[in-house]
Each structure stands twice: as C-alpha cells, then as structure tokens.
A and B are shown apart, each in its own frame.
Chain A
C-alpha cells in the first residue's frame, strides 16, 4: 500500500506535469524583455513591476534620504583625504619645521693684556623652529606649538582616529555577536550567566574606568604603537555589552517567530538555520548599531587622547591635536591649530550618526517604499 502511495505522489509532482512548467518558462522569459519593448496589454499589471529584493529596497530608501547621503559623502571625503592626502606631501606628522628664520649675533669683546689689545668675537648662530605659524603656502593650516605641520597632523591623525574607530567597532561587534548569539540561541543558564555579566558591564561607569586603564598603561610605560593596540582592546572590552544585549534580544524574538519553527519542522540543519536565517535577520540592526558605534568610539578615543591618556604623542590623533588648547594663547590666537581637528571630529561623528539613522529608517519595514 505504501509503495502505491509513493508512486502516486511522484506522478503528481515530477515530470507528469512537465508540460505546464515549460509553458510557464516560455511565458516568464518574454515578459522580462517586454519591459523595453512595447508593453503587452494582456499581461497582468502587477507582473511587470520590477521585483526588488529586500536589500534593494533598503538601498533605495537609504539613497533617497538626503541627510544620510550628505553623511555618506562627507565620510567618503574624510577617509579619502586622510589616507591619500599625505602621499602628496614630503612632510609627515612628526616633521619639525626648522625654518623659523635664523639670526647670528656677534659680540665683540676687547681687552688688553700686557699692553696688547685682543679682540674676541663671540658669534651665536640661532636657528629657530617655526612654531605656531599662521597658515601659509608652506603650511596650509600653519604649524603647531612644536613646529609640525597642522594639516599633516590632522590627516595622519584622521588615519589613526578613523582606523581605531573601525577596528574597535568590528571587534566589539564580533565579541557582542558571539556572546549575544550564544546567550540567545542556547538560553537557560547560559543566557542567565552571560546577561548578568552584561549587566555588570552596564553599571560600570565607563569614563573613570577608561581613565584608570589609561593611567595603568602609562604607569607601565606602554608607549608608542603598543599603547594604541592596548587602547583598542580596552575600548572593545568595555563596548561589547550593548551589542551582546541587542543580538540576544533579537535572536530570542527570532527564535519565537513561526518561520524559525517552520525551518525546524522542515528538518533544516542547525548551521543553515544560524547562517541563512538568524544572522541575515540580525544583520540590519547590527549594521545600524555599528555605524552609530563608530561615531561614539571616535569620540571616546578623542576624549582620552585629549586628556593625554589615549594615543601618545608624537602620534597624532584628532584628540591629541586638540590638546594644544591647554595653552591659553593657543586657544585665543591660534584657531588654526585646534579648529581643524575639532571640526573633523564633529564632521565624522555627525556623519556616522546621519548614516546610522538613515540605515535604521531604511531597514524599518514599516517605512513606505
């Protein structure tokens, strides 16, 4: 009896109905080209509407929003200028300009010994550093208090600031996704433990802890590039909790969705469920979170560097260039030193936020096409 059933089933679903399939294929093809040719009257109108995948819809909504486009263009310009600009100059972030003008001074000392007169010439030659120079053809944004070109420092600083932003956000997202994913997927006590850890991270006041960490780094004489790596790690360590919470919540709610149950009832293997169904559905939120996170990481890094606890001098970042503000005369008379990095920070953070908001709106299915 069972075999009979199977045969009948096969008949229905496989080649028995091959004819309509082919007819269908014929029908479907000319319809694509019909868009460019004259429209066919007989066709159902809705069939000619171009099919958009969800990703295309999102892109379309995103590019339609002016603010996010402004943000995107600004960011592109910032990145391009910071990474390509320095190639056209022979200076870099630590070149000091010694052309502050030279002067020689000679003093003549005459004295007599045993009736003879001697004359001594004491000549001092000073070569001064060209510091706090106002913008000129050589230094488009002038020089800082150590005679380094401000433009170069801003560009190199941008390289570090923007890179730290990306590295930190990517790492913290990875950590967050892993932790949140484990918590959400396995639930129960695993979830309890991870979420309590997240809670603890949430109630730690970030700034003071970051300051302490930086102080520890400084005390241990971690300097130079190593200090930058450590800074990244510290920022990651204190940044993943938010992402973990987000991912966990998302996965918990996705797990309850009926289409996940449908996957289960289909006997789909676990990896397929995770990579084809869970992650693509978490991705939109993650992208938004990452974009907004980039802005705040840049801000935190700048603050730390400004306080002298972040990226150490002579490396430039936007934050530690603004450190020049500590000097009152600089604040008052040398806007060209601290203004540009400040504006860059503002532009970058604002743009990331614009893009993030734009993405969020674009991903929101409730928004109109």
Chain B
C-alpha cells in the first residue's frame, strides 16, 4: 500500500521520496530496478508540431535503451549498460541521416530501438505523422512494412532454409503488396533491379557471396515498398569496388522511391558521400548532429574534430593537424561521469568531469553537446 503511493509520487514529480529507515531502503534496493524512475523522465515532454511531423518522416526524442547486465536473485536487473542514452534526431522525408561513431557506441542499438525491434527504455518516436511510442507488437506489425532495415551482417540475416525468392517474397505476401499471382514476377523484377540475376530465385543463401547476400537483403527490405530504411553498415563487410556498387544502388533507389535513410557507418568518407546530414555518436549519446557539409567543414565537438582529423586527406598541401585520441573507449556499462568524452578530450575542463553538457541547437539544424559552447 505504502509502496503504491510512493511510486505514483515518483513518476509524477522528481521530488525525492520521504525518508524511510535504513533497513527498508536497503531491502528495497535489493529488489529495485537500477534506474530511479525520475531519471527516465528528466525532460519536458514536448510533442513535435504539426509542421515538424509533416516535414520529417521520423522524429525521435530522448530515446534510451538500457540493457540489463546484472540481475538479482529473482531476475530483476540491478545494473544497466546504457547502449543508447538520450538520443534525439529527426529525418526529413526522402533524406539521409548518416550516423557515425566508433565500434560499440550504440549505432546498431539505436537503429533497432527506434524501429521497435528492441523495446525502448524511454523516449518518444514519431513516424510518418503518427506517435508510435506506445505501439504494441500488433500495431507495429501494421506499420512495419513502411520502416525497413538492412542488417549489418549479410550472413546471419538470411534464413538458411529459405530460397532467395522465398526470403524476398515473404514480406510481399504478408503485406499483400501485389496480388498473389504476380508476386514472382514482381520479386524477379526487383532482384534484377538490385543486381541479382532472376534465375537465383530458387537458390539458397549459402550459395552466395557477401556482396550478393547484401543485395538480397536490400531487395528484401525494398520489396515491401518502405518509406524509411535503416541501413546498418550495409557495406562495411564488402570490398571497395562492391561497396561503391551497393552505395550507388542505394542512392538510385532512393531517388526512384523517395526513400529516407538512416545510414549507419563508421566510415566517414562513405557517410559524407551519401548523407544529407550527419549525427556523431559517442558511448551511446549523440554528441553532434548537423548538415553534412557543416559537420565536415566546421565541426564543433572535439570528438568530431578528432574523427575528421583521422581521415586521410588526398591533398598533401592541405596539411591537417591530426588529433590523436588518448586512451581507449570506456565501457558503456560504466561510463565516465559528466561529459562522457572527458577521459579522452583534448580540451577537457574541470566542469566537464562533473556536469554533463546540454545537447542543444547552435545553428539551424546543427546541434552539439559540449561545455566549450554556451550552455543556455
């Protein structure tokens, strides 16, 4: 009874609960989930305006995904890995947002969480004009065909016991994209479009190379005529010449089908090539996001600067000072206090170690989270 009243108190206001004796609080700690409720709702919930909804196919506000890494005796999580922590982004119709960041910074998790493939810990998602934050599995299934994903690993993302035709046509059949008797022709045309010979229809995935498999994945994602596709490092498993082919294919398809992409990669030159805007992630949070040319010409965040300085420059006269990052990337299960980048930041100040910088917009569409810039 007492607990009930306290819970409602916590969720409505961040006022700390009234003091209890030590035994009770300790006993509670043992069974309590590791995130205090208040910390999940530490922002003002501001739904996007009509206009914003009309312009952007995807709006994500304060998205969080915590994986439990330690559980107590009865299976409740007591420690979390914050794979995605408070990420906000928006993608306009028909445009591409590139996401860059080191391995393990949560790019894949971000993509999967906003698609609802992983249950989110907190945050809001608006897709194609609708608030899908609280959609259940059944409701999600109705809009799943509009939001597709091309997985990072073309080997494990194809069901080994299905033919290529079966894999690509499954979504078409489930969502009744074309009449039943036209499915085969439709899929074959699409395969042709994606650079696969249509006679591969009856083949099994084990017979294909990585590049061909990636094309199968692309064909599968596009077969249901999506409006938005998360491309999770679609080319990082491939060699350079095939990379270019796939990238061009994705680009052509984008103009033909008015697709919006979220293009995840750790390769900056690839991202620069395909994106309209770029988001930079570090340890689960977005540190900077802005239009591609702005990010590449005038980066704000020290982490972005160091990433860019590491890119080889073709022009030897344009010498760059390379910023070599010290230390290695900290574990997301145990992130540094304050600014998460402070352990490696060349411009680290005292305040950085204590207080997390605010992620805010400085120029039109160009946001950054760093104490080097005015916080209010």
The reply to whether A12 and B256 form a contact with Cβ atoms under 8 Å apart is yes
A106 to B224, CA, bound (A): 101
Known: A9-B258, A24-B192, A261-B157. A267 touches B186 (CB 8 A): no
Q: Which of B206-240 contact A (CB under 8 A)?
A: 206, 217, 220, 222-225, 227
- With beta carbons under 8 angstroms apart, the residue of A10, A25, A267 that contacts B175 is A267
The reply to whether B75 and A189 form a contact with Cβ atoms under 8 Å apart is yes
A128 to B315, CA, bound (A): 112
Q: Which residue of B lies closest to A1 (CB)?
A: B93
Chain A contacts for B163, CB-based, 8 A: 53
A17 to B182, CA, bound (A): 13
Shortest C-beta distance, A6 to chain B (Å), equals 8
- With beta carbons under 8 angstroms apart, the residue of A21, A192, A277 that contacts B189 is A21
The reply to whether B174 and A267 form a contact with Cβ atoms under 8 Å apart is yes
Interface presence of B293 (CB below 8 A): no
Cβ contacts B159-175/A at 8 Å (1 or 0 each): 11101000000110011
The reply to whether A262 and B204 form a contact with Cβ atoms under 8 Å apart is no
Interface presence of A259 (CB below 8 A): yes
The reply to whether A17 and B170 form a contact with Cβ atoms under 8 Å apart is no
Cβ contacts A261-275/B at 8 Å (1 or 0 each): 111111111001000
The reply to whether A265 and B75 form a contact with Cβ atoms under 8 Å apart is no
Interface presence of B190 (CB below 8 A): yes
Q: Which of A242-281 contact B (CB under 8 A)?
A: 257-259, 261-269, 272, 277, 280-281
Number of interface residues of A (CB under 8 A): 43
Most A-side CB within 10 Å, residue of B93, B157, B158, B204: B157
Known: A9-B257, A266-B224. A281 touches B149 (CB 8 A): no
The reply to whether B192 and A272 form a contact with Cβ atoms under 8 Å apart is no
Cβ contacts B66-96/A at 8 Å (1 or 0 each): 0000000001000000000000000001100
The reply to whether B256 and A269 form a contact with Cβ atoms under 8 Å apart is no
A13 to B115, CA, bound (A): 24
Chain A contacts for B153, CB-based, 8 A: 258
The reply to whether A8 and B178 form a contact with Cβ atoms under 8 Å apart is no
- With beta carbons under 8 angstroms apart, the residue of A1, A21, A272 that contacts B174 is A272
A264 to B147, CA, bound (A): 12
Interface presence of A300 (CB below 8 A): no
A181 to B142, CA, bound (A): 26
Interface presence of B185 (CB below 8 A): yes
Interface presence of A339 (CB below 8 A): no
Q: Which residue of A lies closest to B201 (CB)?
A: A28
Interface presence of B360 (CB below 8 A): no
A262 to B153, CA, bound (A): 11
Number of interface residues of B (CB under 8 A): 55
Interface presence of A188 (CB below 8 A): yes
Shortest C-beta distance, A7 to chain B (Å), equals 10
A8 to B255, CA, bound (A): 9
- With beta carbons under 8 angstroms apart, the residue of A18, A28, A188, A189 that contacts B199 is A28
Q: Which of B124-151 contact A (CB under 8 A)?
A: 140-145, 147-149, 151
Q: Which residue of A lies closest to B160 (CB)?
A: A54
A319 to B223, CA, bound (A): 60
Interface presence of A37 (CB below 8 A): no
The reply to whether A5 and B186 form a contact with Cβ atoms under 8 Å apart is no
The reply to whether B224 and A51 form a contact with Cβ atoms under 8 Å apart is no
The reply to whether B112 and A261 form a contact with Cβ atoms under 8 Å apart is yes
Chain A contacts for B227, CB-based, 8 A: 5
Interface presence of A90 (CB below 8 A): no
Shortest C-beta distance, B142 to chain A (Å), equals 7
Chain A contacts for B192, CB-based, 8 A: 17, 20-21, 24
A28 to B188, CA, bound (A): 12
Q: Which residue of B lies closest to A5 (CB)?
A: B258
Chain B contacts for A13, CB-based, 8 A: 186, 189-190, 193, 222-223, 225
Interface presence of B198 (CB below 8 A): yes
The reply to whether B145 and A267 form a contact with Cβ atoms under 8 Å apart is yes
Chain B contacts for A9, CB-based, 8 A: 225, 256-258
Shortest C-beta distance, A277 to chain B (Å), equals 6
Q: Which residue of B lies closest to A192 (CB)?
A: B75
Chain B contacts for A261, CB-based, 8 A: 112, 117, 151, 157
Known: A21-B192, A21-B198, A259-B158. A267 touches B204 (CB 8 A): no
Interface presence of A365 (CB below 8 A): yes
Interface presence of B202 (CB below 8 A): yes
Chain A contacts for B203, CB-based, 8 A: 51
Known: A265-B144, A266-B224, A272-B174. A24 touches B149 (CB 8 A): no
Cβ contacts A15-57/B at 8 Å (1 or 0 each): 0011011001101100100000000000000010001111000
Interface presence of A105 (CB below 8 A): no
The reply to whether B204 and A53 form a contact with Cβ atoms under 8 Å apart is yes
Interface presence of B156 (CB below 8 A): yes
Interface presence of A14 (CB below 8 A): yes
Chain A contacts for B174, CB-based, 8 A: 266-269, 272
Chain A contacts for B258, CB-based, 8 A: 4-5, 8-9
Shortest C-beta distance, A15 to chain B (Å), equals 9
A269 to B170, CA, bound (A): 11
3 shortest A-B CB distances, which residue pairs?
Answer: A267-B144, A258-B157, A267-B141
A-B pairs with beta carbons under 8 Å apart, 30 shown: A5-B94, A13-B189, A14-B186, A17-B193, A21-B189, A21-B192, A21-B198, A24-B192, A51-B203, A53-B204, A188-B75, A257-B156, A258-B153, A259-B160, A262-B149, A262-B151, A262-B158, A262-B220, A265-B117, A266-B170, A266-B220, A267-B140, A267-B144, A267-B171, A268-B141, A268-B170, A268-B171, A269-B141, A269-B174, A272-B174
Question: Chain B interface (Cβ within 8 Å of chain A)?
Answer: 75, 93-94, 112, 115, 117, 140-145, 147-149, 151-153, 156-161, 163, 170-171, 174-175, 178, 182, 185-186, 188-190, 192-193, 197-199, 202-204, 206, 217, 220, 222-225, 227, 256-258
